[in-house]
A and B are shown apart, each in its own frame.
Chain A
Amino acid sequence: MDTAEPVYIAGAYEHPTRNAPDKSTEQLHAEVARGALQDAGLSKADVDGYLTAGVPEHEDGLPSLTPLIMADYLGLDVAFADSTDFGGSAYMSHVGHAVSAIRDGKCDVALVTLAGRPRSAQQATGTGVRALTAVQDTYERLYGATTLAHYAMAARRHMAEFGTTSEQLAEVRVAAAHHAQYNEHARFRDPVSIEDVVGSRMVADPLHLMDCCVITDGGGALVVVSDAVRDELDRECVEVLGHGEAIAHHDAGRIDLTRTGAVDSGRRAFAEAGLGPDDVDYASIYDSFTITVVETLEDLGFCEKGEGGTFVEGGTLQAPDGDLPFNTDGGGLCSNHPNRGGMTKIIECVRQLRGEANPEVQVDADVGVAHGTGGSIATRHGSVTLVLGGEDR
């Protein structure tokens, strides 16, 4: 990729709300779009590409109409649009697709937005049986299989195969909570201990309540720009060094609950960046559940398969001094998860690389990874990995 035109994230904005009972989802999209454009120093008229997925309150089997609905609402005039929907990891995919579109000359300023209101809508996220959107869902729905149960089955298998313990999974929540105490917007800001996590209510054995992400309203947006646009901006930007995606699924009944699509998306993203896990200073890892993080760390190559539990022990993930600081905003486990947590993973990675993270958790980072897992690792999921680089790299 050395010869490819560099493409940058110039604007990033996370909505401060975690509870928006008096706003529409579309309104949140508009507020984060405005925030990200202001952050970049650009105006709406500069936008010629738009990417989004899911208007969760109104999902009715027509997700492909989302960019039409939202471009109408926002009054956008764009030459490129994309609605790739991998669930929570869609927004990482959008960044990768925006990079390609910009390199192809299809657009110069691509806006990516996410908004959701599951908290105000009182959605039974996690403990609800997913709505039927495809015939395949019937093979899961009939069994009362919730998203939480899916990930709990992954955790159980990981424990059975590799000896991973509940205390090791708890290390992930402890690190996230440690970071969240410095984030004034985080949903839960109290530090917790391993004992607190394993002592919290068992919701789907072996996962406890504190192994699960929060349910919030909120959203975020990004502005991806060409090299030429970046030259005109008075703004520190983050380069998109690599992008990789993969879809993993039942595999005709050969599903491996200990292996995620991150094996493939990570390999592809690192290859494109010409970098490897050893080069990474900071990691934003989709944390729908603590087990998601442990499996993803293994699959991205930060440790061997099966050693994720040992890897996270002893504060590895805690900023600023851990070997691999992660989710320094508190992540989905403690800060923000508006149905879909991929967007906030990118935003916090951008903050770290621009030196704009909360001071207590700011690390000296030149290279960051943002990784998303959308859907469910126990059925079908889209994994997307971004490798991002700071300006002074």
Chain B
Amino acid sequence: MTWEPRPSPVVTPENEPYWTGGLDGELRIQRCRDCDLVYVYPRAHCPDCLGDGVEWFVASGRGTVYSYTVAHQVAGWPEAELPLVNAYVELDEGPRLMTNLVDCDPADVAVGVSVEVRFEPSEDGAFAVPVFTPV
């Protein structure tokens, strides 16, 4: 249930800290200083107030499973690494993030299960992809 190394993400000046954070073991997300919104995915402007007073911070890396699926057929995904668990994790800081659940028996996954972040390197080694595992 892993795909290591991961394909490299599309990196822009807006999201670069997000994709490099994992190299330091940090899940970096953003907060708007003006309206206090904590949000994903990264943007240079707050998606609520459109202000540019946004800042990066290191999230706890903890959350719960908001929803998930155990995918048995994924074109292009290595056959040996199926099934694949796709999930939305609700971070303790609030936002819901699409990800994979790894290093777990799919039968043990359920909505509401507590999870913790870990990182898998991109194929070029320059970035890291946040995934989660049940704790």
Contact = CB atoms under 8 A, between A and B. Distances in A.
A58 interface: no
Contacts of A207: 69
How many of chain B's residues touch chain A, expressed as a range? 35 or more
Contacts of B80: none
B29 to A, nearest CB: 9
B16 to A, nearest CB: 12
A149 B71 contact: yes
B15 A140 contact: no
Interface centre among B37, B67, B75, B111 (most CB of A within 10 A): B67
A378 B99 CA distance: 12
Nearest to B37: A252
A204 B9 contact: no
Contacts, number: 125
A129 B76 contact: yes
Interface in A247-299: 250, 252-255, 257
A257 B71 contact: no
Interface residues of A, number: 41
A160 B111 contact: yes
Interface stretch (A40-48, A151-159, A225-233, A354-362): A151-159
Contacts of A303: none
Contacts of B91: 253
Given A132-B10, A149-B86, A252-B40, A143 B100 contact: yes
A255 B88 contact: yes
B67 A146 contact: no
A146 B71 contact: yes
Contact of A143 (B94, B98, B106): B98
Interface in A115-146: 124, 127-129, 132, 135-146
A152 B70 CA distance: 9
A106 B1 CA distance: 55
A255 B96 contact: yes
Interface string B67-100: 1111111111100000110111001001111111
A144 B37 contact: no
B111 A152 contact: no
A320 interface: no
Interface centre among A137, A149, A152 (most CB of B within 10 A): A149
Contacts of B84: 144, 149
A206 interface: yes
Given A153-B86, A153-B88, A253-B97, A136 B41 contact: yes
A253 B40 contact: yes
A327 to B, nearest CB: 24
A12 interface: no
B125 interface: no
B69 A144 contact: no
Contact of B96 (A124, A160, A253): A253
Contact of A141 (B7, B41, B67): B7
A250 B47 CA distance: 11
A158 to B, nearest CB: 9
Nearest to B48: A252
Q: Which 7 A-B pairs have the closest CB atoms?
A: A253-B95, A152-B69, A124-B75, A252-B39, A157-B67, A160-B111, A205-B70
Given A252-B48, A255-B96, 7 more contacts: A124-B75, A127-B73, A142-B7, A204-B70, A204-B73, A207-B69, A253-B95
